[in-house]
Structure 1
Amino acid sequence: MAKAKDILTLIEADHRKVEELFEELEKSKSSKKTYDCLTQIYKELNLHAKAEELVFYPAMREYDETAEFIEEAEEEHEEAEVLLEEIKTMSPSDDQFKTKIEQLKKAVQHHVEEEESEIFEAVRECMEDDELKSLGKEFQDAKAKLEGEVVAAIK
């Protein structure tokens, strides 16, 4: 049996994947490649945010030390979601396209930085390894269940 991954490791892996997709998007020279990268970014960010909201944030609410971070994190998710929906309706040739992509990238970078420094540190102080691994499984299960819904929303 594969070693269970804790939720923080899984979240970090998602962060790295999205960072790579943004790099690919920036290097993209064709409309198809741009569209493919955007589709992947849309899918990854939505799955990640929804799974965090279903699994990670409820667990964080159990501890005073981590509950304080949730409101801002949820606001950041909402900001990214709004930008994703705006970008989804645009063509790469639209005047605002690159600006919206930059806004999204900055919003995601800010969220990732706060999450990996402040939030993860607080979570590690409160939660035991067993809880983090259990949450990791729940996080993966939530993403698997949500995938069809998120993919359908891309179109």
Structure 2
Amino acid sequence: MADVIELILADHRRFEDLFRQLRDNSNDRLAVLKDLAELLVAHAEAEEGEIYPALRRFGDVDDHEVEHGAEEHAEGHQALLALMEVGDPEAQEWDEKLEDLVKAINHHLDEEERTILNSAREAVPQQRRDELGDKFVEARAARVSAGCGDISHVRDLVEQTKDRVD
């Protein structure tokens, strides 16, 4: 068992590491982008499917912040798709689209950590956080197995959630 908050925070630090790798021209940036897309989408879908609904049941976790977190996932998916569609890491717009993605995701990570996760740490008992951690890991792994980082799935997500962003 692992605390869902610690698991989410570990993914956040992994995103930051992958962003550093994507900025480094000496890396296989397409392979790193594939890893990022897979983890980012699986993470967001696991949060929205398993974690956010459970956290809404606790009075100290703000429903508005949870809904806002889902909106920011949609914005992140849009930025991810824009970078994936560039295709060539040597293209002029790659770095611009990468920075758009980094900005969107870092904004989300900061807000989620300060609002939702801090509230959950105080409001949700440890045993429940551990149970949610198991569900999070299971849901995230299932999404990865289903190929959630594939560009066609990211396109579908953007289409399904476009009303959240506008």
Answer yes or no: same fold by TM over 0.5: yes
For residue 70 of structure 1, the aligned residue among 66, 91, 98 is 66
CA displacement 1:99-127 (0-9 Å, x = unmatched): 11001101111111111222212112211
Aligned runs of 1:110-125 on 2, under 5 Å?
110-125=107-122
- What residue in structure 1 maps to residue 126 of structure 2? 129
1:65 is displaced (CA, Å) by 2.7
Structure 1 runs not aligned, ≥5 long: none
- What residue in structure 1 maps to residue 41 of structure 2? 46
1:136 is displaced (CA, Å) by 0.1
Structure 2 runs not aligned, ≥5 long: 153-166
**Cα RMSD (Å) of the superposition?**
1.6
Cα distance change of structure 1 residues 19 and 152 upon mapping to structure 2, 3 Å threshold: closer
Runs of 4+ in structure 1 deviating by more than 4 angstroms, as ranges, are none
TM-score by length of 2: 0.84
1:51–1:139 CA contact under 8 A, matched in 2? yes
Note if 1:150 corresponds to 2:147. Answer: yes
- What residue in structure 1 maps to residue 101 of structure 2? 104
For residue 16 of structure 2, the aligned residue among 16, 19, 44 is 19
Counterpart CA distance in 1 for 2:4 and 2:68 is: 20
Note if 1:34 corresponds to 2:29. Answer: yes
For residue 10 of structure 1, the aligned residue among 7, 12, 18 is 7
1:152 is displaced (CA, Å) by 6.5
2:46–2:136 CA contact under 8 A, matched in 1? yes
